[in-house]
C-alpha cells in the first residue's frame, strides 16, 4: 500500500492559532512582561465571566489545577478519592501526589463515564472526595453526583479538562458545583498551548490557590515575604494567556462547529454501517439534560471480532487507518492496569466495563477546520478496514 502524502494526512486533532493571535503574542514578547502579568489577569477575568462570576485562577497546566484543588480541599495522607480508570493518568497521579489514595470504580458502558452507582457503593469512612471525569466533554448526571456528595459530606473535584462549554440542563459546567478543573492543553477545544484553570467557591479559596501556585509565598509591603505552607511553580505566563484570551473569544463558534461535525459523524457512521459491524458509537444525547462540547468523537471497536483479538485488534485498525492517511488516538487505556497501579493491588477483572472499553476505544479526527468530506472519508475508511480485518 502506498503511503499517503503528508499534506493529505488527517490528524485526529489540529490546534488553530490565527494570525491575529500570533500578533498578540508578539506584542506580549515586545512588552518586556512575558511571565504572569496583565494578560493572565485579563484571562482570569474573562473566564470568570464565562463561569457566572465565580472565582477563577489560571495555572501552567490542567494537572496542577487538580492538585491544587485537592490541597484546597485539605485532602492528604489517609484519605481516599473515588475516580474513574478511563482518563488521562494525571487524574490519579495528583491524588497520589498529595499523599491520598485513588479508588477506581467501574464505568457506565453507555456514557463511558464513572458509574455513580459504583461510586456510592465504594464510599468508606476514609472517602473525602469524588473526582468525576467528563470523557469527551460529556458530563455525568450532575444532580445525582451532588446528591451523593451532600449525603456523604464529600467534596467534588470535577476533572472537566475536556468539558469547556459543556452543559448540564442548560448551565455551563463550571458555572455551578464545587471545585472544577479545566485544561487548555494543545488538543483541547480552546488552548493556551499549555495551561488550565480552576473554578472555586470563595475568594478565600482563590487567595490560597494563588499562594499555592507560586511556592506558597505571601508578600506584604515593598519587601515582606513569608511562607505558611509550601506550594509549587504552577503559574501561567502572559504569553500563554494571550493565546487563551483569543481562543476564548471564539468559544461559541468552536462549540457550534464541533456539534455540526459530530452530527455529520452520526450520519456518515449510519451510511457506512459502522453499528452493523459491531462498532459502538458515542451515546446520543438528550439536549434537555447533558450537552457535550464534542471534545472528541470516540468509537469502541469489537476487538473480539477482529484479527489480533483483544490485545492486537485496535493496533491493527489504527495502523491501517494511518496507512490510509487518517490519524487516530487512544483516550484512554485503563489506569488501574498500568504497572505502578498494579503494584497497589489492582488486577484484570476488577473493573470489567472499563477494561473492555479501554481495549477497544479509538478517537477519530474532530477539529473545527474539518469538512463533511473528511468525516465521510473517516467513516468509510473505518468501515472498510474493519470489514477487511474481520475474522
Catalytic residues: 188
Alpha-carbon gap, residue 382 to 321, rounded angstroms: 7
> Is the distance from CB of 113 to CB of 134 less than 8 angstroms?
yes
Q: Residue 27 — φ and ψ, nearest 5°?
A: -65, -40
Q: Residue 205 — φ and ψ, nearest 5°?
A: -65, -40
Task: Report residue 314 as a C-alpha cell.
Answer: 485496535
Task: Give, for 341, the enclosing helix (H) or strand (E).
Answer: helix 339-342
> Is the distance from CB of 77 to CB of 101 less than 8 angstroms?
no
3-state SS assignment for residue 98 = coil
Q: Residue 129 — φ and ψ, nearest 5°?
A: -155, 155
Task: Report residue 239 as a C-alpha cell.
Answer: 504569553
Alpha-carbon gap, residue 326 to 321, rounded angstroms: 5
Closest C-alpha among 99, 176, 164, 86 to residue 131? 86
Amino acid at each position: 500500500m502506498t503511503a499517503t502524502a503528508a499534506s493529505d494526512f488527517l490528524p485526529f486533532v489540529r490546534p488553530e492559532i490565527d494570525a491575529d493571535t500570533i500578533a498578540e503574542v508578539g506584542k506580549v514578547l515586545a512588552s518586556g512582561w512575558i511571565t504572569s502579568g496583565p494578560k493572565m489577569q485579563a484571562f482570569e477575568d474573562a473566564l470568570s465571566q464565562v463561569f457566572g462570576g465565580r472565582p477563577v485562577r489560571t495555572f501552567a497546566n490542567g494537572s496542577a489545577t487538580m492538585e491544587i484543588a485537592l490541597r484546597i480541599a485539605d485532602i492528604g495522607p489517609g484519605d481516599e478519592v473515588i475516580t474513574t480508570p478511563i482518563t488521562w493518568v494525571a487524574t490519579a497521579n495528583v491524588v497520589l501526589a498529595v499523599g491520598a489514595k485513588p479508588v477506581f470504580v467501574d464505568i457506565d458502558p453507555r456514557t463511558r463515564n464513572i458509574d455513580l452507582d459504583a461510586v456510592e457503593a465504594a464510599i468508606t469512612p476514609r472517602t473525602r472526595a469524588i473526582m468525576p471525569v467528563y470523557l469527551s466533554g460529556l458530563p455525568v448526571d450532575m444532580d445525582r453526583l451532588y446528591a451523593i456528595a451532600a449525603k456523604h459530606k464529600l467534596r467534588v473535584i470535577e476533572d472537566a479538562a475536556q468539558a469547556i462549554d459543556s452543559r448540564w440542563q442548560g448551565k455551563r459546567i463550571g458555572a455551578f458545583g464545587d471545585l472544577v478543573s479545566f485544561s487548555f492543553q494543545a488538543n483541547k477545544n480552546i488552548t493556551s498551548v499549555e495551561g488550565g484553570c480552576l473554578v472555586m467557591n470563595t475568594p478565600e479559596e482563590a487567595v490560597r490557590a494563588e499562594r499555592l501556585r507560586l511556592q506558597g509565598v505571601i508578600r506584604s509591603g515593598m519587601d515582606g515575604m513569608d511562607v505558611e505552607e509550601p506550594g509549587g511553580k504552577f503559574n501561567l505566563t502572559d504569553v500563554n494567556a494571550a493565546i487563551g484570551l483569543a481562543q476564548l473569544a471564539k468559544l461559541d463558534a468552536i462549540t457550534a462547529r464541533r456539534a455540526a461535525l459530530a452530527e455529520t459523524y452520526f450520519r456518515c457512521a449510519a451510511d457506512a454501517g459502522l453499528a452493523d459491524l459491531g462498532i459502538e458509537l458515542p451515546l446520543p444525547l438528550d439536549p434537555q439534560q447533558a450537552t457535550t462540547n464534542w471534545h472528541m468523537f470516540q468509537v469502541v471497536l469489537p476487538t473480539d471480532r477482529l484479527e489480533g483479538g483483544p490485545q492486537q485488534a485496535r493496533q491493527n485498525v489504527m495502523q491501517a487507518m494511518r496507512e490510509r492517511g487518517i490519524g487516530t488516538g487512544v483516550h484512554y487505556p485503563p489506569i488501574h492496569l498500568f504497572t505502578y497501579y498494579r503494584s497497589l493491588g489492582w488486577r484484570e477483572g476488577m473493573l470489567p466495563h472499563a477494561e473492555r472499553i479501554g481495549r477497544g476505544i479509538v478517537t477519530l479526527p474532530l477539529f473545527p477546520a474539518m469538512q463533511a468530506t473528511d468525516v465521510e472519508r473517516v467513516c468509510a475508511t473505518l468501515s472498510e478496514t474493519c470489514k477487511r480485518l474481520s475474522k
